[in-house]
Each structure stands twice: as structure tokens, then as C-alpha cells.
Chains A and B, each alone.
Chain A
Amino acid sequence: MPLLLFIEQLLNGLQFGVMLFLMAAGLTLVFGVMGLINLAHGSLYMIGAFAAAATAAATGSFLLALMASLAVAAIAGVIVEMTVMRRLYDRDHLDQVLATFALILIFSEGTRWLFGSFPLYLDTPAWLKGSTQLPFGITYPKYRLAIILVGLAVAAGLFLMIARTRIGIQIRAGENDREMVGALGVNIARLYTLVFALGAALAGFAGALIGAIQSVQVGMGEPVLILAFVVIVIGGIGSIKGAFIGAILVGLTDTLGRSLLPLFFGVFMDTSSATTIGSSLASMSIYILMAAVLIFRPRGLFGAA
């Protein structure tokens, strides 16, 4: 494989990883702080994408669409947290899984009812169309590059927020000892709603960004949700750093696996079998990565021992 193509795949992997991080960050925060496993996180991703597509169709502005995705997903998050999630914090994981599975059914069918079964399309704005020239003669699509930069910026912002701000301190305290946060006089209910809304907004934002590359449709959230699960299992539940490293690892493994494995098998078999075996193995590669990490570190790379 020519080096330039390899670098392009590397960037694609990075872009995918950065998106996965936006999903995984919310999941891992919600689990770390509230001890809640939220299957409906993928629905918030979908809601963000639909909000963006509807706004873009109505106003023609991509930036407005992005803001709408953040706002609508956050509002949906607040509503869900206040009506359902807060009844689940003290329940066992089984109840949480079932209740959030029920929410997926409600959200998916509700969206289908509102928007129909046909996919919507969210167009990238004119100023992000086409490719741009990077150093060393690499050309890369502007929009994907923008996703990488925006994703990295959000990640940096999230790290800063958790390290430096008041709410960040409360979140970290909440991860260590829930009762202590209460004793410190923090309004727990408000903190939980805020954390949930933050995670929801990030998921919705990711949905909108990806919606412009793929189509916006019902059921788009769950595959990403499951990948985000793989990410936080690899990174260690509750760890933002783990989520970031895990997301990049998964993004790179998946993307590079899809492009490199067929080529690799092509060295010693004919092209069509190589493509078949290579792409089948590539579809399993991240799960194999997860299994490997589990064998050596059952609590993930950065999970608490």
C-alpha cells in the first residue's frame, strides 16, 4: 500500500476514533458518576442527528444545525434523566438495561413515526466541501479534517473541565465516593442531571457530525453505542483518559483492519478470497482487540483495580 494511502487511512481511523470518544465520554461519565449503564445513549446520538438534519433543512445553516443537535440532545437528556433515569440509579444493572432498552424502543419508533422510515440527508456546508492539502503532499477531505480538529478540541475541553472547574471537581468526587459529594453540600440531583445532559449533548453532537457523512436514519445509534461499549471496556469504565485511548485504538484498528487485512491476505491467496477473508476478519478485529485486552487486564487499560 502506498504510504500516502496509508496515512489517509490513519487519518480516517483517527476521525472515527474521535467520534467514538464523543459517544464513549458520555457513557463512561454517566457510569462513573451515577453507576448507570445507559443503552439509550445511542438514541441521543440519533436524536442529535435528526435535530441537525431537520434544522439544516429548515434554515440551510450547518452551524445552526450543529447547535440544534447539542441543544435538542441535551434537552432530551434532561427530560429522560428527570423522568426515568433517576429512578434507576439505585437499581441493579439488569433493571437499568431493561428500562433503557425500553427507552430505545420508544425513541426509535417515535422518531420513525415523526420522520418516517426513509433516511434524511444532512449536507456538509460549502466551505467544508472538497479536499485540502496537508504537508508532505497529502490531500484529505476538509470535512473529515474538521471533524478530527473539532473532536480533539472537545476532548481537550472536557479534560480541562474535569481537571480545573468546580463541576469537574464534583464529578471526580462523585466517581470516588457518592456519599461524600452529598456531605460536601453539593446538590446531587442537579449534578446528576447536568452530567447526564452533558453526555447527551456530546452524543447528539457526534450524531450530527457523522450524519453529514452517512445518512440520518432510525437505528443509526445502536451500532455506534455498541462500539462505544467496546471502547470503554478497553479503556476502563469511568476513565475519561481510558475512553480517549480506547476510542483511538478502536478507530484505528477498525479502519486499518478494513484496508490492510485484505491486502495482507492478498500476498498469499487470490484477490477475491483475500477480500472475503480479510474483510470478515476486519469486521471482527475490534472484538478480538477487546478480548485480548480483557485477557491481560480484565478491568480495562485504565480501570480501577
Chain B
Amino acid sequence: MIRETTLNAALLVLLLAVPLAALILDELFIITLATRAVIFAIAGIGLNLALGFGGLVSLGHAAFFGIGGYAMGILAYHAQTYTPLIEWHFVIDGTKSMPVIWLTATIASAIAALGIGALSLRTSGVYFIMITLAFGQMFYFFTISWPAYGGEDGLSIYVRNGFAGFNTMDPITFFAICYAMLLAVLWLVARLVRSSFGLALGAARQNEDRIQAVGQRPFTLYLAAFTISGAITGLAGALFADLNRFVSPTMFSWQTSGEIMVFVILGGVGRVYGPVAGAAMFILLEHVLGGLSEFWHIYLGAILLGIVLFARGGLIGLLAGREVADD
């Protein structure tokens, strides 16, 4: 118990210390890497709520990551081209304000997750995996064939969106914003896991008969978890789009879903801090292996295969020495 808490704290400190050190050494690229890790961690934390705590193996979380990204892209595109987003009996303009974009991204991906979840949760097991994957792919092809927002080429946003008067184009400032969001999301999920809802959700994952016998429908619990999960991953998508100042259909691709799942698994399924460790490790591998060979995905695949076959508790599990986290 103590070991894992210490490990989690160490992880957060490290994630903050690396970009600060990079700032002193004037290695701006490292700050961007750390920002990526933080954003991927948020995406993974979202998925982990469904996957780790609800036992819902979703291979379609790219849908929410992409919706978050496009929420940012579309709002900022209309703001930078001075065209209204909706012009009907009333006019809605685009915006360059991060909080508004975050809210839109979160709500839009929550609505999508509610819809996809309501359909996909009619099934379970391997059907669920395939269906979530297919819905993700549906968004991918839709964005490719819908020309209004760049189609296959995506959308470029020239200036990063604004937040409360900070200079968001400054890498360390943007990192700090993302890091603060990570802390907020970690706090939120840690609370959720310990709440009534978290207790019931975990019970549904472990035994559906049990949760029914105490008067609760697993479907409702799963759907709520899936919706919140999608919303968090959508928020990460908006941040990711802002980091790159670019959105494209790639955010919706099935590889994105697979990678988000990898963050969760590398760190350890069903641990609140697991995706943080996983995303950091992924970025580290990408950087180190990517420097060694152009074909670094081969090594990533081999490492992932090894973890799945031989080390099921993930990184935190290996270091804390236990397979499953106690609550």
C-alpha cells in the first residue's frame, strides 16, 4: 500500500521535474515530449475507467480522442477564419478560449460515448471489442469523406488557443496547463473509484450476478462508466490537438485506440496511476527506441507481447510487486 502510493507520488514529481530540468537546459523538445506524455496519460486514465474498473474492453476510444480533437479544431478554425460556426435563427461563433473548447470537447465526446455505449453494451465480450472498434472506424471514414473541415488533410490552427491571459505558445506554460488538468483528472478518478458508483462498478466487473442480486442493473453502471470514460479521453483529444495545433482523421484511427490501450496496459490495468506510468514509458520507449532504429515499432511490439504473456500487473505492478491493486 505504502509502496504504491510512494511510487505514484514519485511518478508525478518526476513528470514535473523532467520538463523543468529541460527548461533550465533549454531542451524545448523534451518539454514537448513530457507534454505528450501528460496528455496521453489523461487519455489512458479515461480508457482505464471503462477498461480497468468496468472491465469493458473498448477498442474504439480513438472516437472520443478524435471528437475532442475536432471540437478544438472546428471551434478554433471558425475563430481564425472569422466565419460563424452556426448561422441560423441565431449565430454561434468559433472560439479560441481553452476552457470553452475543453467543455465542448468533454460534452461532445460524452454524448458520443453515451450513444456508442448504449448500442455496444447490448452485447459483451468479444462482440463489444469488435463493435467499439467498428464505431471508431466509422468516425475515421466519416472525417475523411467530409470535406468541410479538411477531409483527409486535416485542419491546421495557426495560434494555440488562449487560457486566462497566459502565453500558451510558451512550451512550459502549456505543459503546466496540461499537468494541472492531469492532476484534476487523477483526483476525479480517484474519487470516483472510492465512491458508491466505484464500488458498484467494480462489483459489476467482478460478478454480474452479484450486482443484480443487490438490485442494480450492470448495463446502467457500465453505460455511466463508459460515458465518463469517453468524456475524459475527449478532453485529452482537445489538449493533444492544441499541442500540435493540428487535427486530422489519424486521431480517429484504430491505431490510436490501440495505443491508448497500450498506455493503460504498460502501466497496469485498474490502477488509477497506471496510465501515467504507461504513457511516460511509451514516450520514453518511442524516444529511445526511435533513436535506435526507424523500425522501433518492432521492439515496442516485442516488449508489449512480453508484458502480456509474462508480466500482467504492468509497470506499477512490477515495481510494487503485486498483480492487482487493493482499494
Number of interface residues of A (CB under 8 A): 43
Binds B, one of A1-9, A129-137, A289-297: A289-297
**Is B146 within 8 A of A294, CB to CB?**
no
**Is B297 within 8 A of A108, CB to CB?**
yes
Residues in A neighbouring B309, C-beta threshold 8 A:
84, 87, 99
Could you mark each residue 64-102 of chain A with 1 if its beta carbon is under 8 Å from any beta carbon of chain B, else 0? 000000000000000000001001000001110111011
The chain B residues found within 8 Å of chain A, CB to CB, are 51, 57, 59, 119-120, 122-123, 125-127, 129-131, 133-135, 137-138, 141-142, 144-148, 254-255, 258, 261-262, 265, 269, 295-298, 300-302, 304-305, 308-309, 312
The docked-state distance in angstroms from the alpha carbon of A282 to that of B138 is 10
**Is B134 within 8 A of A294, CB to CB?**
no
Residues in B neighbouring A102, C-beta threshold 8 A:
300-302, 304-305, 308
Residues in B neighbouring A233, C-beta threshold 8 A:
127, 130-131, 134
Query: Knowing that A105-B297, A109-B298 are A-B contacts, what are 19 other residue pairs whose CB atoms are under 8 Å apart, sorted by A's residue number?
Result: A94-B51, A95-B308, A97-B57, A101-B304, A102-B301, A103-B305, A104-B301, A105-B300, A106-B302, A108-B297, A222-B254, A229-B133, A233-B131, A276-B145, A276-B147, A279-B145, A283-B142, A287-B137, A294-B123
Chain A residues touching B, majority SS: helix
**Is A37 within 8 A of B137, CB to CB?**
no
State the 7 A-B residue pairs at the shortest beta-carbon distance, nearest first. Answer: A105-B301, A106-B301, A287-B138, A283-B141, A102-B304, A229-B130, A102-B305
**Is A97 within 8 A of B301, CB to CB?**
no
**Interface flag for A284 (CB, 8 Å):** yes
CB distance from A32 to the nearest CB of B (A): 11
**Is B57 within 8 A of A93, CB to CB?**
yes
CB distance from B225 to the nearest CB of A (A): 16
The docked-state distance in angstroms from the alpha carbon of A98 to that of B304 is 8
Residues in B neighbouring A279, C-beta threshold 8 A:
145
**Is B123 within 8 A of A299, CB to CB?**
yes
The docked-state distance in angstroms from the alpha carbon of A299 to that of B128 is 11
**Interface flag for A226 (CB, 8 Å):** yes
**Is A280 within 8 A of B122, CB to CB?**
no
The chain A residues found within 8 Å of chain B, CB to CB, are 31, 37, 84, 87, 93-95, 97-99, 101-106, 108-110, 112-113, 222-223, 226, 229-230, 232-233, 237, 276, 279-280, 282-284, 287, 290-291, 294-295, 298-300
CB distance from A217 to the nearest CB of B (A): 15
The docked-state distance in angstroms from the alpha carbon of A3 to that of B309 is 55
Residues in B neighbouring A84, C-beta threshold 8 A:
305, 309
Residue of chain A at shortest CB distance from B148: A276
Contact A99 to B308, CB < 8 A, known contacts A104-B301, A295-B122 = yes
The docked-state distance in angstroms from the alpha carbon of A237 to that of B297 is 31
Residue of chain A at shortest CB distance from B52: A94
Residue of chain B at shortest CB distance from A94: B57
CB distance from A51 to the nearest CB of B (A): 19
**Is B125 within 8 A of A93, CB to CB?**
yes
The docked-state distance in angstroms from the alpha carbon of A253 to that of B141 is 15
**Is A226 within 8 A of B133, CB to CB?**
yes
**Is A113 within 8 A of B126, CB to CB?**
no
Residue of chain B at shortest CB distance from A282: B145
**Is B125 within 8 A of A291, CB to CB?**
no
Contact among B125, B126, B134, B262 for A226, CB-based, below 8 A:
B134
Residues in B neighbouring A31, C-beta threshold 8 A:
126
Residues in B neighbouring A98, C-beta threshold 8 A:
261-262, 265, 304, 308
The docked-state distance in angstroms from the alpha carbon of A299 to that of B123 is 7
